[in-house]
Homo-oligomer: A and B are copies of this chain.
């Protein structure tokens, strides 16, 4: 299977697939003409990567998850640890964003948003207290 079809199967752009080969996540074979030749296993890995990335795992997370996936004797606890760690990062990010959201929506609410120059948003940006 050529890269175009692999792209369709995995829903990843060809550029990204080449990049994943570059950094050693996949190792497709090569045809005589130099074209990459993707086996089922490669496609499977690409799908796996697309899913994992869509869930926000970093490339290094993906590398570890793929290694565990390849290892039939892995303990599910190892996978779970990576996922839990990622989960708590997501929770932190959501908390941060919610704090930002509440500050900013208050500002937007307070701002008349008319033609006059008076603007509480800018005023606050000058004096907003330190975020720890």
Identify whether the interface residues of A are mostly helix, strand, loop, or mixed.
Answer: helix
Residues of B within 8 A of A86 (CB): 104
Query: Does A58 have its Cβ within 8 Å of any Cβ on chain B?
Result: no
Q: Copy number in this complex?
A: 2
Contacts of A15 in B (CB 8 A): none
> How many whole Å from A1's CB to the nearest CB in chain B?
18
- What are 20 residue pairs bridging A and B, where the CB atoms are less than 8 Å apart in the complex? A11-B130, A44-B126, A47-B126, A48-B125, A51-B124, A68-B122, A75-B114, A75-B117, A76-B112, A76-B115, A76-B116, A76-B121, A79-B111, A79-B119, A80-B108, A81-B113, A83-B104, A86-B104, A87-B104, A91-B101
